[in-house]
Amino acid sequence: MTPEPLIVLASASPRRSELLGLAGLSFRTAPADIPEEPLPGEEAVPHALRLAEEKARAAAGREATGRWFIGADTIVVLDGRIMGKPVDDQDACRMLTDLSGTTHQVVTAYAVYDRQTGSCVTEAIQTGVRFKQLSDHEIKAYISTGCPLDKAGAYAIQGGAAHFVREIQGSYTNVVGLPTCELIETLHRMGVPLS
């Protein structure tokens, strides 16, 4: 019988699972369902860091097995304004219109909580993303796919919005939803067995 993986991803995101799998990690998922609204006056990076840690700790509090719990949160930031997931098609249209022709930041924070030692390491990675000027037709066609509704900033760089992106500065996997290079380095420093 195969033992339960010691690494637990506190996320329902298939993109995050795919990225961890591509990195060769043995893990299981245990999504953490927590409120994701910013606190009053909370800025983008502290907001993402807080949610990542809360997700990791929430999963650790519920799960009977596992040692290292990974939480992550991705937000899009335009001119200091946090863009989470759109609430409906109209909200998605507003977000994409705002992002059109601009450079924005994608912030993904991750937290690795070690249940055995009680330690938690957090980090936030930022990537600059520049959109081309989008036509109304492009925005409406993309929204009609349904893809934007569960994505921060209403788009997925690895999906139907790939052709919106003129340039990125920084980590591509960060924009997808998990800065894999930095996360693997953190796991290594924490002594997590990665094979």
CB atoms within 10 A of CB 9: 29
Return the structure tokens found at 99: 């992002």
Measured at the alpha carbon of residue 7, what is the angle toward residues 33 and 37, in degrees to the nearest 5?
25
Query: What is the Cα–Cα distance from 107 to 166, expressed in whole angstroms?
Result: 18
Query: 81 vs 7, 71, 86, 98, 113, CA distance in Å?
Result: 33, 22, 14, 11, 28
Beta carbons within 8 Å of 148's beta carbon, 6+ residues apart: 86, 92, 95, 96, 142, 154, 155, 156, 161
Q: Is 89 among the residues known to form the active site?
A: no
Is residue 45 exposed (0-12), middle (13-18) or buried (19+ Cβ within 10 Å)?
middle
Annotated catalytic residue: which of 73, 89, 91, 150? 73
Q: From CA 177, how far away is CA 151, in angstroms rounded?
A: 9
CB of 144 closer than 8 Å to CB of 130: no
User: Residue 140: what residue type?
Assistant: K
Residues annotated as catalytic are 73
